[in-house]
Amino acid sequence: EIPLSPRVKRIKPSPSMVARMRAQELKAQGHDIIDLTVGEPDFDTPAHIQAAATAAMAAGETRYTPVNGTPRLRKAIAAKLARENGVTYGLDQITVGTGAKQVLFNALAATLGEGDEVIVPAPFWVSYPDMVLACDGTPVIVACGENSGFKLTAEALEQAITPKTRWLILNTPSNPTGAFYSATEMKALTDVLMRHPHVALMTDDIYEHIRFDGGEPVSPVAIEPRLAGRTLLVNGVSKTYAMTGFRIGYGAGPKPLIGAINVIQSQTTSGAASMSMAAAAAALEGDQSFVAEARTAYRARRDRAVELLNGIDGITCQTPDGAFYVYPSVAGLIGRKRADGRELKTDFDVALFFLEEAGVAVLDGAAYGLSPYLRLSIATSLSDIEEACTRLKRASQALN
Ligand code: PLP
């Protein structure tokens, strides 16, 4: 048997991917399952973006690419960041990776050593703590409860910072809660960071266009330009343009950091896929009407999901500002008993109960670092959301 590394033993597979596989397995066995674990848009990639990928291949763009991304794509990213986020980056301050996920990982791999701490507000996207662990760092999880809108406060940030802190990771709007930091809330956090020059900021803006209150995206560097030298802005095309399979994400930040990320990438995957980069450039440069259409659809689903969930005894659900998830509390179901007498002790038990008794696959809040909650994806049809909530209600009513 080949021994495994301490690195891989420290981490686990992404719980959302595991749950999704489990739901698909049950479906394949003939069970009627509504899968609300999915973290990707249910829309097709817009036709003009697909066409750009095909055209690129026909034009011979099928070879190795520059490690940091094609100049055309980096130009499109720089233009997007200036246009939408009010921040200016040169082409040598931008790197393209195989998804935002790779950019985040590369950045941690390029900067963390043993014992270095990374502040991760909870609930968090499941990959952050494991990425930190994989890169020999220590995740410092800061619980951000419902009463602060699931958001990190300036006081909590201040308390979490130690001399070993290297990064704060902020995801806004957030997966799983949809929480979005307003300009005022962001300023309160950047003010704290200004007092701690050894702490860098990683912002994951992947859901920036899936926002429901109409306001502009809020980039910390636009709010506090003095942080530009220690901020890595991470974004991608997966969620905004329904391009999850293209695997294109990007980072913008100070040149030395971007250079180090490029070194890691050059020794792992090399440059991202040529046709995907052409498609991503077309997405950023082209007609943006899909973005607004998708947002309108997500808003209708969010409103319906929140309404129906709040109509279930034992469940309460805040209205998320963005992203395509809802994160209801199931505190009122904990302690209740299934027909066979088994008690629902944790949100994992609740998620399993809903899978087995309601045929609805959801994720437990424990996977996201804050219990007792569930994460339900609304990146699925309105009729599926309605049917799922009807089933959850029926199943909950059968609890003792
Ligand atoms: N960041 C967050 C918060 C996410 O939820 C996801 C996908 O689930 C990603 C990053 C990964 O995005 P990409 O497809 O660009 O790797």
Task: Please write the tens of the pLDDT for every residue from 319-363.
Answer: 999 999 999 999 999 999 999 999 999 999 999 999 989 999 999
Q: Are 87 and 252 in contact (CB under 8 A)?
A: yes
pLDDT of 15: 72
Is the separation of the CB atoms in 129 and 163 below 8 Å?
Answer: no
Name the nearest CA neighbour of 328 among 371, 293, 288.
371
Q: Ligand 1: which atom is nearest the Cα of residue 236?
A: 15
Average pLDDT, the chain: 95
Contact at 8 Å (CB) between 103 and 169? Answer: no
244 lines ligand 1 (CB under 6 A): yes
Q: Which residue from 98, 102, 175 has its CB within 8 A of the most atoms of ligand 1, so it is best to mutate?
A: 175
- Residue 369 tokens read as 């670092």
* pLDDT (tens digit per residue) in 13-27: 777 777 778 888 888
- Strand 200-204 and strand 165-171: the pairing is parallel
What are the tens digits of pLDDT across the range 243-302? 999 999 999 999 999 999 999 999 999 999 999 999 999 999 999 999 999 999 999 999
Backbone phi and psi for residue 268, each to the nearest 5 degrees, phi listed first: -120, -80
Task: Tell me what the mean pLDDT of segment 64-73 comes to.
Answer: 98
Number of neighbouring beta carbons within 10 Å of residue 223: 18
Q: What per-residue string of b and e applies to 68-90 under the rule 16 or more CB within 10 Å gives b?
A: bbbebbbbbbbebbeebbebebe
Atom of ligand 1 nearest to the CA of 98: 16
| pLDDT at residue 217 greater than cutoff 80 | no
Query: Which amino acid does the sequence have at 55?
Result: A
Task: Return the half-sphere exposure (C-beta side, CA atoms, 13 A cut-off) of residue 375.
Answer: 30
Q: Is the CB of 106 under 6 A from ligand 1?
A: no
How far does the centroid of ligand 1 lie from the alpha carbon of residue 382, in Å?
Answer: 23
- Who wins on pLDDT, 218 or 201? 201
* Residue in the structure block whose two tokens are 């607004």: 292
User: How long, in residues, is the chain?
Assistant: 400
Instruction: Average the pLDDT over 185-190 and give the result.
Output: 96
User: What is the percent of the chain with per-residue pLDDT over 90, rounded to a whole number?
Assistant: 92
Q: What is the pLDDT of residues 120-161, one digit of tens each?
A: 999 999 999 999 999 999 999 999 999 999 999 999 999 999
Q: What confidence score (pLDDT) does residue 190 get? A: 98
Of all helices (H) and strands (E), which one includes residue 379?
none
Alpha carbon of 31 to ligand 1 centroid (Å): 29
Contact predicate 225/206, CB 8 Å: no
Using the predicted structure, report yes or no on whether residue 226 has a pLDDT greater than 80.
yes
ipTM of predicted complex: 0.99
Residue 174: what pLDDT? 97
* 324 Cα to the center of ligand 1, angstroms: 12
Q: Is residue 64 exposed (0-12), middle (13-18) or buried (19+ Cβ within 10 Å)?
A: exposed
Q: In the predicted model, what is the mean pLDDT of residues 204-208?
A: 97
- CA 330 remoteness from chain centre: 22
The residue contributing the CA closest to ligand 1 atom 11 is 101
Domains of the chain are: 6-44+290-397 (3.90.1150.10), 47-285 (3.40.640.10)
> What is the SS3 assignment for 176?
coil
Q: Is 249 in the pocket of ligand 1 (CB under 6 A)?
A: yes
Using CA positions, which residue lies closest to atom 7 of ligand 1?
39
pLDDT at 218: 82
CA 211 to ligand 1 center in whole angstroms: 16
Taking the centre of ligand 1 as the mean of its atom positions, its distance from the CA of residue 237, in whole angstroms, is 10
Give the residue whose CA is nearest to atom 5 of ligand 1. 175
Strand 249-252 to 231-236 pairing: antiparallel
